[in-house]
């Protein structure tokens, strides 16, 4: 098994902090890059191939990639299981994380920002399993999404208005549907003078603003000490004077902290969530909030969720690899029966005569008027309305 020892440079007053946030100086980042390149040599060509979006190492001798939205098995392989484990250990060094029997699942990232997830045996029955979600070299923009057909000018203007009006937005979708990329795009609508705090398990967000504070969770050490989760970071972020809080993904009991903050004056927050439909997202958020140790009556919890989330943006990945927005909905107050209510603003419709072409279509306005149209924060933006004037036209 290969071993690499990296020396951290000490500066006066302590260890210099680099981009990984774990005491790594900028001068050692290049060392990590060269070291990782060495140990990941069998898959290095895929890491450098812009057409490849994901690399899946099922075992040392079975490697798949996603290229152009489709999976394909490659001829690449690591020399043996020890070589793969050495590569994994060196990848984890960049973020100061470790795999142990007590902690057999780890999220990390490469120096270029690509996300890495590793699972140890016996959880992975065939040996060490590693998946790399590559960091997009090209930052998507609102205009780029228009060119790709992922949304329409009217949808873009509607969502931009919601961001400027400080509506809480939840981006939902399946695995690899483009939730994080869309969140990056939406952040571009946030005014430049506002202070943004991001919270993530493993840093992926690449926001377009200058004033961004990035927080990242920390795993426990070998003795089970020092863990810092999203809930703790979220509560700490409230003391950082944020104008906006963006959470990379809501996954567990921290959902209740997020909901309560959104309903107590921290407007304009954004996050992502795995869900197949907008209504499913609210139900999942409810389930995760119930994982918190704080117990709330179900009706009270649902009322808080309905009050906290303003807009749900659904992203879908099609079978041919295309990704697009397929539903944009506003969350309404609970119904008399205590159930969630949504108002679809835009839904994905097949283009006329295209029914046989893998669901080719685009978002279309449902004709509904926004439930926010009478709010002051929305009405002061009326000079920017063009394509959405009828949507936000107030009841005078």
In this prediction, residue 317 carries a pLDDT of: 87
Cis peptide bond N-terminal to 392, omega within 30: no
State whether 224 and 77 are in the same domain: no
State the sign of the Cα–Cα–Cα–Cα dihedral 270, 276, 277, 280.
negative
Q: Is residue 126 part of a domain?
A: yes
Q: The CATH number of the domain where 129 resides is what?
A: 3.30.450.90
State whether 42 and 103 are in the same domain: yes
Q: The CATH number of the domain where 383 resides is what?
A: 3.40.50.300
According to DSSP H, which parts of the chain are helical? 26-39, 44-47, 81-93, 142-148, 153-164, 179-187, 230-237, 254-262, 278-289, 298-308, 376-379, 389-392
State whether 175 and 309 are in the same domain: yes
State whether 37 and 115 are in the same domain: yes
Q: Is residue 4 part of a domain?
A: no
Degrees, nearest 5: CA angle 206-212-218: 75
Q: Which of 388, 393, 387 is nearest to 374 (CA)?
A: 393
User: How far is residue 96's CA from residue 89's CA, in Å, rounded to a whole number?
Assistant: 10
State whether 216 and 107 are in the same domain: no
State whether 147 and 101 are in the same domain: no
Q: Is residue 241 part of a domain?
A: yes
Secondary structure, 3-state, 78-122: CCCHHHHHHHHHHHHHCCCCCCCCCCCEEEEECCCCCEEEEECCC
State whether 258 and 231 are in the same domain: yes
* Domain endpoint, select from 71, 98, 133: 133
State whether 268 and 374 are in the same domain: yes
- The number of domains in the chain is 2
Q: Is residue 227 part of a domain?
A: yes
Q: Is residue 2 part of a domain?
A: no
Range of the domain at 220: 142-392
User: How far is residue 44's CA from residue 28's CA, in Å, rounded to a whole number?
Assistant: 20
User: How far is residue 185's CA from residue 211's CA, in Å, rounded to a whole number?
Assistant: 16
What is residue 24's three-state secondary structure? Answer: coil
State whether 62 and 180 are in the same domain: no
Q: In this structure, are residues 64 and 58 in contact, taking their beta carbons and an 8 Å threshold? A: yes
Tally the residues of the chain: 396
State whether 78 and 100 are in the same domain: yes
Question: What does pTM read for this prediction?
Answer: 0.78
User: How far is residue 378's CA from residue 11's CA, in Å, rounded to a whole number?
Assistant: 50
Q: Is 385 left (phi over 0), alpha (psi -120 to 50) or beta?
A: beta
State whether 100 and 149 are in the same domain: no
pLDDT averaged per 10 residues in sequence order, the chain, 396 residues: 40 34 53 80 91 92 89 94 91 81 84 88 90 76 88 96 96 88 92 91 80 86 80 86 89 84 82 92 93 86 94 90 91 94 94 60 92 93 92 81
* Domain endpoint, select from 84, 103, 133: 133
Per DSSP, 347 falls in state E
Q: State the distance between the two ends of the chain, measured CA to CA, in whole angstroms.
A: 74
CA 81 to chain centre: 31
State whether 224 and 297 are in the same domain: yes
Q: Is residue 181 part of a domain?
A: yes
Q: Is residue 163 part of a domain?
A: yes
Q: In this structure, are residues 60 and 88 in contact, taking their beta carbons and an 8 Å threshold? A: no
For residue 182, which phi and psi values (nearest 5 degrees)? -65, -40
* Domain endpoint, select from 99, 133, 167: 133
Q: Is residue 5 part of a domain?
A: no
């Amino acid at each position: 098994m290969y071993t690499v020892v990296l020396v951290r440079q000490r500066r006066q007053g302590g260890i210099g902090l680099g981009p990984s946030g774990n005491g790594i100086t900028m001068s050692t980042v290049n060392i990590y890059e060269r070291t990782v390149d060495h140990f990941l040599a069998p898959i290095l060509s895929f890491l450098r191939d812009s057409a490849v979006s994901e690399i899946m190492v099922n075992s040392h001798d079975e490697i798949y990639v996603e290229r152009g939205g489709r999976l394909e098995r490659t001829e690449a392989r690591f020399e043996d299981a020890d070589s793969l484990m050495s590569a994994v250990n060196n990848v984890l060094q960049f973020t100061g994380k470790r795999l142990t029997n007590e902690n057999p699942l780890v999220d990390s990232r490469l120096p270029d920002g690509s996300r890495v997830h590793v699972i140890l045996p016996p959880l992975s029955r065939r040996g060490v399993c590693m998946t790399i979600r590559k960091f997009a070299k090209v930052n998507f923009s609102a205009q780029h999404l228009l060119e790709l057909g992922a949304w329409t000018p009217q949808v873009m203007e509607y969502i931009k208005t919601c961001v400027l009006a400080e509506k809480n937005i939840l981006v939902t979708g399946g695995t690899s549907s483009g939730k994080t990329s869309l969140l990056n795009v939406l952040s571009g609508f946030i005014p430049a003078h506002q202070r943004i705090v991001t919270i993530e398990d493993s840093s992926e967000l690449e926001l377009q603003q200058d004033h961004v504070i990035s927080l990242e969770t920390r795993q426990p050490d070998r003795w089970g000490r020092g863990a810092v989760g999203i809930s703790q970071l979220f509560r700490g972020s409230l003391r950082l004077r944020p104008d906006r809080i963006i959470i990379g993904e809501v996954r567990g009991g921290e959902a209740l902290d997020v909901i309560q903050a959104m309903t107590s004056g921290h407007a304009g927050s954004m996050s992502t969530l795995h869900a197949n439909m907008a209504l499913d997202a609210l139900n999942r958020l409810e389930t995760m909030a119930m994982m918190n140790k704080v117990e709330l009556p179900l009706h009270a919890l649902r009322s808080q969720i309905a009050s906290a989330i303003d807009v749900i943006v659904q992203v879908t990945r099609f079978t041919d690899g295309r990704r697009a927005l397929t539903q944009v909905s506003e969350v309404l107050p609970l119904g008399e029966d205590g159930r969630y209510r949504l108002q679809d603003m835009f839904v994905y419709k097949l283009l006329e005569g295209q029914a046989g072409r893998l669901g080719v279509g685009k978002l279309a306005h449902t004709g509904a008027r926004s439930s926010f149209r009478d709010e002051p924060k929305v009405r002061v933006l009326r000079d920017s309305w063009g394509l959405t004037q009828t949507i936000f036209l107030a009841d005078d």
